[in-house]
Amino acid sequence: QITLKESGPTLVKPTQTLTLTCTFSGFSLSTSGVGVGWIRQPPGKALEWLALIYWDDDKRYSPSLKSRLTITKDTSKNQVVLTMTNMDPVDTATYYCARTRFGELLFRDWGQGTLVTVSS
Amino acid sequence: SSELTQDPAVSVALGQTVRITCQGDSLRSYYASWYQQKPGQAPVLVIYGKNNRPSGIPDRFSGSSSGNTASLTITGAQAEDEADYYCNSRDSSGNHLFGGGTKLTVL
C-alpha cells in the first residue's frame, strides 16, 4: 500500500522560510523512474504544481516560483523536503505531495495535504 | 501559451452524460490526466494517458483528446460524481501544468 503524508508548520510569518516534509511508504525513491512532487492549493482555488524530484536527483521547479523553492530527498528516510523562502500571505494554501514516474504526466498517489497559513 | 483552460462550472442531470474540457497548446503534443477532488479531500486520479482508468475508478469515466482539447466524459453521472475536476499536463519545458478546475454539479 502506498501512502504519503505531509508535515510541517501550520502557521508561518511573512518573510519566513517554510519547510515541509513528505514521508512516504510503499515505494522507494531509489527505484528507477520514481518521482515525488509538491502541489499546492490556496483556499477555494485551483491546484498549482510547485516542484518535482526524481530517483536520480533530477529536480524540476515551477518557473514562477523557482527562485524561492528547493526540493531535496532523503532516500534512507523515505522523505522529500520542500523549502520555500520569503513566505507571503498569498502562499497560504494546502500543500500536497504526490507520487509520479518519469515521463508520466500524472500524480498517481497523493498525501492528505497540510494547510499552511501565512500571517503575522 | 503554457496554460490549461477549463470551464469554471458545469452541471448535469442525474444519469445523463457530461463532458468536461481542458484546452491548451501543450495538449496537441501531450495527453492530459484528470483528477476528481471532493470538498476537504485530496485529488484522486481518474483518467490518464489516452484513456486509462486507475483501479477502482468506475468505467463511466472516460477520456479523449482532439487538437488542443482534452475531454473527460462521465456517462451516466451519479450524485457521488459531484466534485471539482482538474486536468494536468505539461509545457514544452517538461513542467507540470494544472487547469483552473471545473466544478461539476449533478442535478
SS3 (DSSP) at A66 = helix
Residue B92, pLDDT above cutoff 90: no
Nearest Cα of chain A lies from the Cα of B65 at a distance, in angstroms, of 15
**Contact predicate B33/B96, CB 8 Å:** no
Backbone CA torsion sign across A20, A87, B37, A49: negative
**Contact predicate A88/A67, CB 8 Å:** no
Cβ count near A24 (within 10 Å): 23
Burial class (CB in 10 A: 0-12, 13-18, 19+), B56: exposed
Q: Which of B33, B95, B97, B103 to mutate to test the interface with A (most CBs of A within 10 A)?
A: B95
Residue B55: closest C-alpha in chain A: A108
- Under an 8 A CB cutoff, do B43 and A106 touch? no
Residue A47: closest C-alpha in chain B: B98
Phi, psi of B58 (to 5 degrees): -60, 150
pLDDT tens-digit map of A21-76: 999 999 999 999 999 999 999 999 999 999 999 999 999 999 999 999 999 999 99
Which whole-number Å values give the CA distances from B44 to A76, A107, B39, in the listed order? 28, 9, 12
Average pLDDT rounded to a whole number, residues A89-117:
96
Count how many pairs of residues, chain A against chain B, have C-beta atoms within 8 Å: 59
The pLDDT score that the predictor gives to residue B2 is 66
